[in-house]
Chain A
C-alpha cells in the first residue's frame, strides 16, 4: 500500500512536472563509471551534534538498563535487522538501505569529529570543541569541483547553513556550498535575491553587468598562493549571474509545484521540506546536497527529546528514500544519514541537569546508507555487547568517505595540489566499504 502510493505520486511528478527535460540533460551530463553504472549524486543528512547509535540503529536490548536505555528495538521488513521503535517507517523499507555499525575514529569533540567525517581527513592539529576548522576540502566541495552541475546551478548546496567543516578549503571559494537559509516550509518560500528587483529588466541588468566590468579596476592577484579573497568574490559573482539568468535554477527552487500529498508525505516541517527540496536539486543535476540538521547533541534529556524527534525524522528520511526509489532515482542518488560520532553507552546525568543523556563517543557510530547502487537490507559490522566499540569489520572515516567518492565517480586516491603547490591526497586510505559497493 505504502509503496503503491509512492509510485502514483512519482509518476504524476514525472509526467506533470517540468523535470523531464532536466533529467535528460542530467543524463547527458553524467559520465559513466568504469563499471558501466552512472555516477551517483548524494544527499547527506548531517545530524549535527552526534546522534546516539544506541537509540537509532544499534540498540542493545540485552544490555544492563544503564546502557540499554528506554527504547526498544522493532523488527524491520528484513529479518534479523532491528532498529528503534520510534522509526517505524524506516523499519518498513529496510531492504532499501544498509546500516553501517562499525565506523569509528578518535576525535571526540564536535569540531574535530565533524571535520573527520565531512572530509575524510583527521584535523591535523588539536581542535577546540566548538571550533570551526577546515584543513581539507569537504565531500560536497570535491563533488562540486569534480562533478559540475548543469544550468549554472551550484554543484553543492547546504541547507539551512554550512556545517562546521563543510567548506572547500584549498579548492577555493568557487566550491563552497550555496547556502539556502530560507525555510522551504514557509509560505512564499523563495531563495533570496536570485530574482532581479522590480524595475530592473534583463536588458538593464545586462548593461549594469557590463558597466561593472568596466569600472571594476581592483587588481586581482592571480597566483593562488596569495590567497587573495577578492578572486573568490569574482567566482561568487559569476555563480550569482548564472543563478539569476538560468530558468532551470529558478525552477529547481519552486517547491510549491510539488503536489500537496507529496509535501505532506515528507512532513510539513522545515526538515521535511528541505529533504524534498534536496530531491528537486538532485533531479536538476546537483551532485551534492547537505541538509545540516542540528540538535543531536543529547547530553541530557535524551529520551524525551528523541520520542518527539525521531518519528518525524523517520517519516522524512523514509519518504525521501521511497520517493527517489519510485522515480527511479535511488539507483543514482545516495541518501546518507550520520553525525560526527556516536554517544556513550553508559547513560549519565550531567551536573545541573535532571534528565539523563549520553556524551560524545567516537569509538562507535551508526550510518544509514541508501541508494547509489548500495545493496540494501544489510548490516555491516557490529559493536560489542554493550555498544562500546566497533568490534567486527572495524571501519574508518576514510573508508566511509572513499565509498561516497567511488559512487560519485571520483577517485579517492586522487592527489590535489594546494595553492602553495603542496600535494594533498584526497583520502589517505582510498579503500571503500566493499559491502556497500
Chain B
C-alpha cells in the first residue's frame, strides 16, 4: 500500500473559507504550492506605491545573489521570454531558461558558457552581458537596461562581487502574495496592487515592479505593467494574475450592478439544497435576481435530455404533465436514472474524451473500449473505480476494453497528457517541453507523472494502420524508467507537487497514482469531474473550459465547485446521485427568460442557459419524432446514433451538428455552435425529407388514422416540444387542416417540418 504526503486540501479549504464570504470577490488557488496569505497583513495602503527597487524589507543589505536579484531582473525585462533568449535554442547562441525556471542553466549560460566571455569581472561594466543589455554593443533586443540605472548598478555589483549564487543558508522564495485583499470595485475605480515575495527566512520584498501582470477581462478590469488596475464602466467579473519567478498569484474582483436587489427576492427563492444556497450567495454579491421557476413541461424536457439524452415520447410527456402528485419531479428523475438509455448517453459523452481512431488501433480494440464504457455506465460504477479500472487496465485489448487506452497511447508521455487533462483538469502539455508559462508546472512534474506509466508493457500485435486488427496484451513490466529529457536523470514516479511513497517492485505504479488521484485530499480529481457534469446540465462550467483548472482561470463560484466535489465524494462518487442533486436543485429549474437584473449574467446561473442538443441527441430525436429509424451503413437495423461505436460511421447529419472528427489530428473537438449549414440541413436535407414523408413514418400513420385534426396536433406537439399546443397554436393549425384544397398528409408533413425547424425542437430551453 502506498502512502503519500498531502498538503493541498487544507490550503484550498482555507482559501475558500477566507474569501468566499467576502463580498463579490474570490481568491482562487488550485496551485498546491501556494500557502495561505499572511495572517499579519502586509502593510499597504490604497495609494499607489511605485517604488522602482526591490528593496529588502526585513533582511538588511546583503550581497547581490543570482537567483534573488539577477534572474528576477532578467525576467522582468523580458530577456528570458519566449521570443528572446528564453526560446528553446536561445537567441544568437545565448539561451536562458524560459522565464527563468532553471537557475542552474541560466547561471551557466551567463557565467561559464562561451568560454566565459560574457562576464569580465575585472571591469564589470565592460562585460558583454552588461554591454548587450544596455545597447552599448549591438543587441537585437534593443536597450533593456539603462546605463547607470539602479538595475544596471545591481548587475555590475553582482559581477564585481564574484557572481554569487544563493547558498544553502540563503533564503529561498517561498511564495508571492498580492495585496490588498480582493474586494469588489465600482466602475472607473483605480487601485494599485502590490506584490510581496516572501522568503524562507521570513523576509519579504516588494517585487511589484518585477512582476508580469495580466487581466483575463481587460475591458472589465485593466491592469498596467506596474500593477495599477483600472475598472471599466460596466459591471462584470475579472481576475488579474501576477507572475514572479515561477510563482503566480491572482486577484479576482467583481464590479457589481450598482442597484441592489430587494432581500425578499432571495427569500422567495425556495432553496432545495446546497447548490441553491451557494448560487444565491453569488447573486446577492452581484445584485442579480434569479429568473422565475420553469413549467413542468420545461422541466420534463430538460430532465429527459440531460439524464438519458432523448425526448419523452408523446405519451410520456402527456402522463407527466397531467400527473398531479407533488413529488412528480423527483419520481421522474428516479425513473430516468434507471432507464437503459442512461448508459448509452453517458458512454457517448465519455467516448468523446477517450475514443480512438479505429484505423489506428483497430476496429476490435475500439469496439471493445466502447463496450467497456457502456457496461461501466450500465452498472453505475462509481467514478473513482471507473478511473482506477481505466488507468490501471491490463490484459487483452479484446477482453478488457479499458486496455485500448494503452494501445492508443503507448508511451508514458502520451498517457500523461490525457490523464492530467481528464482527471485533474490540468493541461500539462506545455510542461512536456518547458516550464508551463502560466502555471507552476515544469518538465519534472510532467515526467514525474509519466514515470507512473514507465512500466507499462505491451506484447502481442502492435499497431499496423490502417487495419491494426491484432490483439495486444498490456502488462506491468518488472522494470521501466522515465528520464528527464534535459538532465537525463531517471525520475521516480511523482504526483503533481506531492510525493508518493516508494513503490515496491511487485506493485503496479499506476495503482499508486490512482490512490493519490482518488484520495479525499486530492485537490483536482473531484473538482474536474463535477465541473464537467455541471457544464453539461447548466450550459457552462463553473470553470470554463471544463478541463482547464488553474489559478489564472478561476471558477465563477469556487465555493459551489468545492461543495459539489465534496458532495460527489460523500455519495461515494455515484454519478446518479450527483445528477439527482443537480437536477432537483431550484437553480436547475429556473427559466431561461432573463429579467432586468440578470440578462447579462452568463456565468452565475441566475437564469437557465439555452443549449443546442448535441448531434446524436438531435438525430435520435428526429428519428423518434418521425418514427423512422436511421439505417447506418454496416450497422444493425435500429441502431440509434447514441449507440454508434465510432465517429467513422458516415453521417452528414452528425457531421453538420458538430460531432468530433476523428480523422483530424489532433482530433477536432465537438462544436456546440449553430451554423447556417445546420439550418439548411434541417430544412432541405433529402434524408430528413425522406423521414418526414416515409410511408411507415408518423406523418403517414397519422394521416391514415381516424384521429381528428386536434388530436393530431396534440400528438405532434407532445412528440416534438414535449407540451400541448396553446389555444392559439391549435386554432392556427386547425385552420390549415380546414383549408379546402389541402391533403391531410401534406398538412401533417408541413406541420411536422415546421416544428422540427423551430429552435424549440433543437434547443434545450
What's the nearest-Cβ distance from chain A to residue B458, in Å? Answer: 16
What's the nearest-Cβ distance from chain B to residue A64, in Å? Answer: 13
Q: Is the CB of B234 within 8 A of A236?
A: no
Q: Is the CB of A217 within 8 A of B216?
A: no
In the complex, chain B residues whose CB is within 8 Å of the CB of A228: 610
Q: Is the CB of B765 within 8 A of A199?
A: no
In the complex, chain B residues whose CB is within 8 Å of the CB of A124: 215-218
Cβ of B94 within 8 Å of any chain A Cβ, yes or no, is no
Q: Is the CB of B674 within 8 A of A229?
A: yes
Q: Is the CB of B548 within 8 A of A212?
A: no
A280–B222 CA distance with the chains assembled, in angstroms:
45
Which one, B8-16, B37-45, B120-128, B746-754, is touching chain A? B746-754
In the complex, chain A residues whose CB is within 8 Å of the CB of B438: 126
Cβ of B269 within 8 Å of any chain A Cβ, yes or no, is no
Question: Number of B residues contacting the other chain (C-beta, 8 Å)?
Answer: 78
Given the interface contacts A197-B684, A423-B219, does A215 sit within 8 Å of B599 by beta carbon?
no
Cβ of B326 within 8 Å of any chain A Cβ, yes or no, is no
Given the interface contacts A215-B733, A421-B234, does A239 sit within 8 Å of B676 by beta carbon?
yes
Q: Is the CB of A236 within 8 A of B729?
A: no
A184–B652 CA distance with the chains assembled, in angstroms:
17
Residues 353-384 of B, flagged 1 when their CB comes within 8 A of A and 0 if not, give 00000000000000000000000000000000
Cβ of B681 within 8 Å of any chain A Cβ, yes or no, is yes
What's the nearest-Cβ distance from chain A to residue B716, in Å? Answer: 10
Residues 218-242 of B, flagged 1 when their CB comes within 8 A of A and 0 if not, give 1110000000000011101000000
What's the nearest-Cβ distance from chain A to residue B409, in Å? Answer: 14
Q: Is the CB of A215 within 8 A of B763?
A: no
Query: Of all chain B residues, which has the CB nearest A222?
Result: B599
Q: Which of A216, A239, A418 is B679 in contact with, Cβ under 8 Å?
A: A239
Q: Is the CB of B552 within 8 A of A125?
A: yes
Residues 147-186 of B, flagged 1 when their CB comes within 8 A of A and 0 if not, give 0000000000000000000000000000000000000000
Residues 485-522 of B, flagged 1 when their CB comes within 8 A of A and 0 if not, give 10000000000000000000000000000000000000
Given the interface contacts A216-B759, A391-B140, does A179 sit within 8 Å of B612 by beta carbon?
no
Q: Which of B214, B673, B684 is A125 in contact with, Cβ under 8 Å?
A: B214
Q: Is the CB of A129 within 8 A of B140?
A: no
Cβ of B81 within 8 Å of any chain A Cβ, yes or no, is yes
Cβ of B59 within 8 Å of any chain A Cβ, yes or no, is no
> Which residues from 180 to 202 on chain A have a C-beta closer than 8 Å to any C-beta of chain B?
181, 192-200
Query: Of all chain A residues, which has the CB nearest B433?
Result: A359
Cβ of B650 within 8 Å of any chain A Cβ, yes or no, is no
> Which residues from 220 to 241 on chain A have a C-beta closer than 8 Å to any C-beta of chain B?
221, 223, 225-230, 232-234, 236-237, 239-240
> Which residues from 316 to 335 on chain A have a C-beta closer than 8 Å to any C-beta of chain B?
none
Cβ of B660 within 8 Å of any chain A Cβ, yes or no, is no
Q: Is the CB of A195 within 8 A of B684?
A: yes
Q: Is the CB of A236 within 8 A of B689?
A: no
Q: Is the CB of B757 within 8 A of A130?
A: no
Given the interface contacts A128-B548, A217-B729, A236-B675, does A243 sit within 8 Å of B680 by beta carbon?
yes
Q: Is the CB of A126 within 8 A of B552?
A: yes
- Name, among B215, B219, B683, the residue most crowded by chain A CB atoms within 10 Å (CB to CB): B683
Given the interface contacts A225-B599, A228-B610, A389-B140, does A215 sit within 8 Å of B751 by beta carbon?
yes
Which one, A7-15, A21-29, A203-211, A262-270, is touching chain B? A203-211
What's the nearest-Cβ distance from chain B to residue A319, in Å? Answer: 27
A212–B751 CA distance with the chains assembled, in angstroms:
8
- Name, among B594, B600, B679, the residue most crowded by chain A CB atoms within 10 Å (CB to CB): B679
What's the nearest-Cβ distance from chain B to residue A357, in Å? Answer: 14
Cβ of B282 within 8 Å of any chain A Cβ, yes or no, is no
Q: Is the CB of B680 within 8 A of A192?
A: yes
In the complex, chain B residues whose CB is within 8 Å of the CB of A359: 88
Q: Is the CB of B763 within 8 A of A230?
A: yes
In the complex, chain B residues whose CB is within 8 Å of the CB of A178: 676-677
- Name, among A217, A239, A351, A418, the residue most crowded by chain B CB atoms within 10 Å (CB to CB): A217
Residues 667-699 of B, flagged 1 when their CB comes within 8 A of A and 0 if not, give 001000111111111011110110001000000
A145–B583 CA distance with the chains assembled, in angstroms:
41
Q: Is the CB of B763 within 8 A of A218?
A: yes
Given the interface contacts A216-B760, A344-B89, A346-B89, does A125 sit within 8 Å of B216 by beta carbon?
yes
Q: Which of A129, A219, A344 is B593 in contact with, Cβ under 8 Å?
A: A219
Cβ of A388 within 8 Å of any chain B Cβ, yes or no, is yes
Q: Which of B427, B610, B685, B693 is A229 in contact with, Cβ under 8 Å?
A: B610
Query: Of all chain B residues, which has the CB nearest A361?
Result: B87
Cβ of A166 within 8 Å of any chain B Cβ, yes or no, is no
In the complex, chain A residues whose CB is within 8 Å of the CB of B765: 218
Residues 531-558 of B, flagged 1 when their CB comes within 8 A of A and 0 if not, give 0000000000000010010001100000
What's the nearest-Cβ distance from chain B to residue A342, in Å? Answer: 12
In the complex, chain A residues whose CB is within 8 Å of the CB of B135: none
Q: Is the CB of A214 within 8 A of B681?
A: no
Cβ of B188 within 8 Å of any chain A Cβ, yes or no, is no
Q: Is the CB of A128 within 8 A of B427?
A: yes
Cβ of B437 within 8 Å of any chain A Cβ, yes or no, is yes
In the complex, chain A residues whose CB is within 8 Å of the CB of B83: 104, 106, 108, 362-363
Given the interface contacts A215-B758, A422-B234, A424-B219, does A240 sit within 8 Å of B680 by beta carbon?
yes
Residues 125-145 of A, flagged 1 when their CB comes within 8 A of B and 0 if not, give 110111110000000000000
In the complex, chain B residues whose CB is within 8 Å of the CB of A346: 89
Q: Is the CB of A204 within 8 A of B759?
A: no
Query: Of all chain B residues, which has the CB nearest A207?
Result: B750
> Which residues from 682 to 724 on chain B have a C-beta closer than 8 Å to any C-beta of chain A?
683-686, 688-689, 693
Query: Of all chain B residues, which has the CB nearest A195?
Result: B684
Q: Is the CB of B232 within 8 A of A422?
A: yes
A230–B765 CA distance with the chains assembled, in angstroms:
10
Cβ of B736 within 8 Å of any chain A Cβ, yes or no, is yes
Cβ of B190 within 8 Å of any chain A Cβ, yes or no, is no
Cβ of A154 within 8 Å of any chain B Cβ, yes or no, is yes
Residues 98-114 of A, flagged 1 when their CB comes within 8 A of B and 0 if not, give 00000010101000000
Cβ of A410 within 8 Å of any chain B Cβ, yes or no, is no
A362–B91 CA distance with the chains assembled, in angstroms:
13
In the complex, chain A residues whose CB is within 8 Å of the CB of B91: 388-389
Cβ of B47 within 8 Å of any chain A Cβ, yes or no, is no
16 contacts between A and B (CB under 8 A): A128-B429, A192-B677, A204-B746, A207-B750, A211-B754, A214-B732, A218-B765, A221-B593, A229-B611, A236-B678, A240-B680, A346-B89, A359-B88, A422-B219, A422-B233, A424-B219
Additional pairs, 11, CB under 8 Å, beyond known A218-B763, A226-B600: A124-B215, A130-B666, A181-B677, A193-B677, A193-B681, A211-B754, A215-B751, A216-B759, A237-B683, A346-B89, A389-B91
